[in-house]
Chain A
């Protein structure tokens, strides 16, 4: 079974609709992240959480909100979707502050906003 899962894997929605992307992990990691990926721009950080009570904005948080329901779950919401939020969204986790700590990515959610 995958350690980091995302649902849905694909989503088509209309402008103005509210949608939620969900991320779950079985790795027992405290840290979780949401990124979006656009062609030519690479991965950009939307929000991150270092534990259940900690939520931080990334470089492109406008138009998004998050909820850390438990150590294992971190959801991303688009309150009123717009077409330029069409992108590939990745959730990631990491264990803590170890030097060689890397991030582990979920399979991604492909979102199309019409």
Chain B
């Protein structure tokens, strides 16, 4: 099975940077995903890492260290619309996803 941990809540100011950490312990690893979920809406895909290192997509970047069982999602130049829950998910060898409980990010003006 999978054990995935991420902080429950984070608060940051508009224009700032926030880093959301995710640690995992898995019985099989086949990639790590980050999703964004606004309140009451469906999760939407943000990023994917399967090899160690940093993946950058505009204001969002995601990092993976497989040896440490660690990932982070970096949100730069925060905007009010970035207020949402961010879900870390690990894919196993059967291509199933296990999700962390999510980190709620609140962006203040």
Chain A residues within 8 Å of B, Cβ to Cβ: 31, 40-45, 48, 58-59, 90, 94, 97, 99-108
Contacts and interface: CB of A to CB of B under 8 A. Distances in A.
Contacts of A44: 99
Interface residues of B, number: 22
Contacts, number: 44
Q: By DSSP majority rule, is chain B's interface helix, strand, loop, or mixed?
A: loop
A59 to B, nearest CB: 8
A13 to B, nearest CB: 20
Given A94-B95, A103-B45, 5 more contacts: A31-B95, A59-B1, A103-B97, A107-B42, A108-B41
15 contacts: A42-B87, A42-B100, A43-B89, A43-B97, A44-B99, A58-B96, A94-B95, A97-B95, A99-B50, A100-B48, A101-B95, A102-B45, A102-B48, A103-B97, A107-B41
Contacts of B43: 43, 90, 105
Contacts of A48: 96
Contacts of B102: 42
Interface of B: 1, 8, 31, 33, 40-45, 48, 50, 87, 89, 95-102
